[in-house]
Amino acid sequence: MPESSGRKKFPVALGLGLAALAALLAAFGARIWQFSEPPAVPALLQGLEDSSAAGSQEAFLARLDKRFPKGSSESAMIAALLGEGFKLRKDAHSAEQEAVYERGSSINDRCRRSGSVQWSAENDRLTGVSGGYYLHCQ
């Protein structure tokens, strides 16, 4: 009798082990899928052509001028850029400030993107805004 009792426990233990393994693989797969999703592209960089295309940098500069015109609030521009994923880069030796965004290509998006916005301001008012971007798809 004890021998048949051991045989009955083996399929149950095997089934539980396989169920645990399946759950572990599903959780790992979900985690990999989550990390493969690229972050959202900032509105400032959406819909731009390859950065080497003729007129592309001029189009980006026009977009910057429209969104952040001279005389507008520096703090509002910084908040907008940070909200879109840009990071501030401070240079103590320069009067100009800079915010940068960088994202490499991924499984779901084969395009590498980066953008840079430089500006100067006085009393929270923009006195100049410039920048550039890089977009290259493989």
Predicted confidence (pLDDT) per residue in 9-19, tens digit: 667 666 666 66
Percent of the chain that is helix, strand, coil (3-state, to 5): 45, 25, 30
Helix (H) or strand (E) holding 122: strand 111-122
Position of tokens 């410039």?
130
So what's the pLDDT on residue 48? 87
Predicted confidence (pLDDT) per residue in 106-126, tens digit: 777 778 889 999 999 999 999
Q: What separation, in Å, do the N-terminal and C-terminal C-alpha atoms of the chain show?
A: 67
pTM of the model: 0.68
Predicted confidence (pLDDT) per residue in 42-101, tens digit: 999 988 888 888 889 999 999 999 999 999 999 999 999 999 999 999 776 677 899 999
Band (130; pLDDT cuts 50, 70, 90): very high
Helix (H) or strand (E) holding 18: helix 2-36
